[in-house]
Amino acid sequence: MNYDTRLVPYDRESISEAAELLSRGELVAIPTETVYGLAADALNENAVKKIFLAKGRPQDNPLIVHISSMEMLPPLVREIPDTAKALAERFWGGPLTMIFPKSDKIPGVTSGGLGTVAVRMPSSEAAREIIGKCGFPLAAPSANLSGKPSPTTARHVFEDMNGRIPLIIDGGECAVGVESTVVCFKDGRIHILRPGGITAEMLSEFGKVEVDKAVTAQPEKDERVLSPGMKYKHYSPKADVYVVNAHGRAFEEYCRRSGYESLIALGAGAAEKDFFLDYGKTPEIQAQRLFALLRKADELGVETVLVEMPERSGMGLAVYNRLLRAAAFRVIEI
Ligand code: TXA
Ligand code: MG
């Protein structure tokens, strides 16, 4: 790993170059509508191994396989449940990842040794054009160093991946800002392993929805979790993050009296003064801004980040889930 990393805008030329590098088993960081992905040929074992090296990612944490058309799905999986077909029709391309029993085409490194594979079709035009040009599916985790906040701009990717990969395609800021919703199908239910842009409320039109308990609770040490990614420390800036269960004035007063000296406070629709920053009034805006603000805490070099409790339904559940992990589950009750 000693590349002269280039950051280039998304256009005809860069797409061809990305596809060429990916065909040769190299890594390319690509934009998607959720967060930037660190892509490799999902069917090439050696290429996929480079992802784990570049990120410093634990080998047992499986990757999401990205496709650009429905015809790419059947060869990757052993079975497509009817509910999955309906969900694909309604929500693909978009921020929804579904878990299927995997076919032999998917190497063990891609699926983290599991018998299942996670597949998603992004809506991002750049992502789909690159996959289309490649003609093979791309394994792509978020393009951050393992444990760091996911990248929502090409500059974030460059901060983490400079020297580790040959190419970053700049497609602008990610529209959703948090990673895709991950679901599996269990006991006739749609089981949410990771909340995201496709919400429980949206999925409930298609069947009974269950939210995995690991979404909002800290897994016990050594507990088996359905989604291996849930057990790792995540999205963490160097600062200590705390979720504060208070709103508006009460949140502001708590932060002022907290006694922390080197801090920022992220308020929902807060006026930006003193150490307060606005992380957005609606869960959709909060999702867009959250990871960039966690990175900003590091740039500012503050020791503490206090965050106003988000809504815990709809898109708010995805924000809450990421915040809990960034905060190592520290919630301050007022
Ligand atoms: O929006 C996204 O999904 C982004 C962009 C780049 O597409 N990708 C992403 O990948 O977030 P990553 O690797 O950071 O997160 C993948 C999540 C992890 O929590 C992982 O454990 C889970 O999906 N996962 C992958 N394969 C799985 C499987 N077979 N069974 C259960 N969980 C799986
Ligand atoms: Mg990630």
Residue 203: pLDDT over 70:
yes
Q: Which ligand is nearest to the CA of 235?
A: 2
305 lines ligand 1 (CB under 6 A): no
Residue 60: pLDDT over 90:
no
Residue 231: pLDDT over 80:
no
Residue 230: pLDDT over 90:
no
Query: How does pLDDT run across 244-298, given as a tens digit for each residue?
Result: 999 999 999 999 999 999 999 999 999 999 999 999 999 999 999 999 999 999 9
Output the CA–CA distances (angstroms, integers) from residue 118 to 137, 163, 227, 267, in the order listed. 12, 29, 10, 34
CA dist 90 and 104 (Å) reads 28
Q: Please give the pLDDT value at position 225.
A: 72
Residue 223: pLDDT over 90:
no
Reply yes or no: is the peptide bond before residue 93 cis, omega within 30 of 0: yes
% pLDDT > 70, the chain: 98
Q: Please give the pLDDT value at position 233.
A: 63
327 lines ligand 1 (CB under 6 A): no
Looking at the chain, how many residues does it have? 334
- Measuring CA to CA, which residue among 36, 6, 1 is closest to residue 130? 36
Could you identify the atom of ligand 1 that is nearest to the CA of residue 176?
A: 1
110 lines ligand 1 (CB under 6 A): no
CB 172 within 8 A of CB 31: yes
CA dist 6 and 27 (Å) reads 12
Q: Please give the pLDDT value at position 98.
A: 98
228 lines ligand 1 (CB under 6 A): yes
CB-based neighbours (< 5 A) of ligand 2, an ion = 142
63 lines ligand 1 (CB under 6 A): yes
Q: Please give the pLDDT value at position 65.
A: 98
Residue with the nearest Cα to atom 17 of ligand 1?
229
The tokens of 83 are what? 């509910």
Query: How does pLDDT run across 85-130, given as a tens digit for each residue?
Result: 999 999 999 999 999 999 999 999 999 999 999 999 999 999 999 9
**Which of 117, 198, 227 has most ligand 1 atoms within 8 Å of CB, for mutation?**
227
Q: Please give the pLDDT value at position 227.
A: 74
For residue 174, what are the β-bridge partners? none
Query: How does pLDDT run across 204-213, given as a tens digit for each residue?
Result: 999 999 999 9
pLDDT band at 235 (very low <50, low <70, confident <90, very high): confident
Q: Please give the pLDDT value at position 232.
A: 61
Q: Please give the pLDDT value at position 120.
A: 98
Query: What's the CA-to-centroid distance between 260 and ligand 1, angstroms?
Result: 35
| Crossing angle of the two packed helices 283-300 and 316-326, in degrees rounded to 10 | 20
Q: Please give the pLDDT value at position 220.
A: 76
Q: Which ligand is nearest to the CA of 182?
A: 1
What average pLDDT does the structure give for the chain? 95
94 lines ligand 1 (CB under 6 A): no
Please tell me the chain's helix, strand, coil percentages from 3-state DSSP, rounded to the nearest 5: 35, 20, 45
Which conformational region is residue 217 in: left (phi greater than 0), alpha (psi within -120 to 50 degrees), or beta? beta
Q: Please give the pLDDT value at position 123.
A: 98
Q: Please give the pLDDT value at position 209.
A: 98
Could you identify the atom of ligand 1 that is nearest to the CA of residue 37?
A: 6
CB 177 within 8 A of CB 35: yes
pTM: 0.96
Residue with the nearest Cα to atom 13 of ligand 1?
141
Query: What's the CA-to-centroid distance between 134 and ligand 2, angstroms?
Result: 23
